[in-house]
Amino acid sequence: MIDMKRDYKYIVMVCTLLFGIVFSGCTDLEVEFNDSYYVEQTDEGFTKVDVEAVLISAYSRLNSIVGSSYNGVSGLNEQTSDELMIPTRATDWGNGGVHRLLHAHNWDAAHNDILSVWNDLNVGVYYCNQILASNPTTLQAAEAKTIRAYLMYHLIDLFGQVPFREVDQGVDEDPAVWNRSEAFDFAVGELEAVMNDLPDGGPDVEDPTKMSKAFVHALLAKFYISKAVYKSANPAGPYTFEAADMNKVVAHCDAVQSYGYELEENYFDNFNKNSRKEKILTFTKWWNGMWIWPQLHNSQGGWNGATTLGSFYDKFETNDKRLFYSPDGGRGFGLLEGLQTKSDGSTYLNRSGEPLVFTKEVLLTGNADFEGIRVLKYDPNSDDGFVLMRYADIRLLKAEAILRGATATNGETAESIVNELRTIRGASNTTVNLEMLLDERGRELYWEGIRRSDQVRFGTFSTTTWEFKDVTDDNLVLFPIPNLAVESNPNFTQNPGY
């Protein structure tokens, strides 16, 4: 326990860059004004921080999940998956090959996007540690522990190792490094301990950007559905999903449902300000490069970047409401394929002055400006934040847990859960098995920053191929620990294959 009663005190300004150095000697960290605050310190070490100010900074670290212009956790999870790629068009979107390396599964431990995610997540964890060492209120402590567990969840999922530095450790001390199993036990234990100290949550909550009991239940469902992955001696499996763990998934999914969430009938209202029926946690950021502008053509006001894959587009039925929606006959939402029209009936034009027609055919390099199906979920004019956890995900997790051996509850089956959702989305009823469920998770949750994690759990990430990804390497189910981190802390062991 840190002695909070010191005699000699002075004030120092601490910022994100400093914490990046404290953690791992890493550089290239984003410094934000809101991440600067005063720390009260003594010649013996850390004393305390302004808890409310640092809690705001800890919440701001959720930006590392959303990212911008395809970086962040979401960028790593989507670019490496079977549903998103960033092809080059002449020199556009070349960016030194960083995007192509991720999609083709040719990254290494020097990749800058991997380093950036590593730094951002660990900085957020350290903010939470500072809060917890500074006499927070019960609610503040519960929020900090929940944020910390959420950031750790992504470190566990992406990297398989979690460094942990106490706030009173000097910069000359190397942080401890927890393996995947140890970090899982710590994070899950924290969530289970603090749940009752948080407000309930629900679709009518005043602020869906704050931690809540509903979010904790949802996050625990995420942890337990992947417990077999995180506890496996071989990160690539095979995985053994225990019925007891799957029953916990079901219990947490049912708990989320008890707060009043329900499936939104208009799918695209989930991503705009019209509805909060499904929104368990959002991040308030009015604009984000990854989710809005880069994928749209220049004539649509965008930057002409990312596309989905033709094989992913083919997973949808024609009448599936998740495929395409246009409220006014103009540029729509969903997977934008074919002739692109404006609301007045005129057409957008490509760079040659011809009607803009997005094609299913696209290459990783050497494309014309119109090649590739674009994806748009968020209205550029929406200001209701970005969805980090959504009720439909929880419903599908319950169906998956039942397929993996859980006891069904509430008279539901995996098939009834999935077909209830498909009916609302305008898709036909179908039989349900694990292969189908992975496809359904793709149809429902595409470009929401989780696809890689799903593919790892279902065993397709390292064993199958898709357009412009022919690598099958089990080591790639984990990203490397960035070189700078390994070089600065001897407690790290680089992940296999790097």
DSSP 389: E
Q: What is the mean pLDDT of residues 145-168?
A: 95
User: For residue 26, how many other CB atoms are within 10 A of its CB?
Assistant: 22
So where are the chain's domains? 1-175+462-498, 199-282+386-432+446-459, 292-376
Mean pLDDT value across residues 101-114: 97
| Collapsed DSSP state (helix, strand, coil) of residue 221 | helix
Between 327 and 17, residue with greater pLDDT: 327
The tokens for 74 are: 């979401």
CA 77 to chain centre: 7
133-169 as b/e: b if 16+ CB within 10 A: bbebeeebbbbbbbbbbbbbbbbbbbbbbbbbbebeb
The DSSP bridge partners found for residue 46 are: 41
Domain 199-282+386-432+446-459 class in CATH: mainly alpha
Q: Which CATH architecture has domain 1-175+462-498?
A: Alpha Horseshoe (1.25)
Length of the chain: 498
Rounded average pLDDT over 103-125: 96
Residue 76 has pLDDT above 70, yes or no: yes
Q: Would you list the DSSP string of 429-485?
A: P----HHHHHHHHHHHHTTSS-HHHHHHHTT-TTT--BTTB----GGGGSPPPPHHH
Q: How far is CA 40 from CA 2, 47, 275, in A?
A: 13, 6, 43
CA distance 60 to 356: 38
Same fold, 1-175+462-498 and 199-282+386-432+446-459: yes
Predicted pLDDT of residue 17: 33
Nearest-angstrom CA–CA distance, 225 and 264 = 24
Look at the pTM and tell me if it is higher than 0.85: yes
Q: What is the pLDDT of residue 21?
A: 34
Report the pLDDT value the prediction gives residue 288, as an integer from 0 to 100: 56
How far apart, in whole angstroms, are the C-alpha atoms of residue 260 and residue 269?
Answer: 17
- Where are the strands (E) in 30-146, listed by range? 37-42, 45-49
> pLDDT tens across 367-390, in order?
999 999 999 998 877 777 889 999
Q: What are the tens digits of pLDDT across the range 283-298?
A: 986 555 556 778 899 9
Contact 73, 449 (CB under 8 A): yes
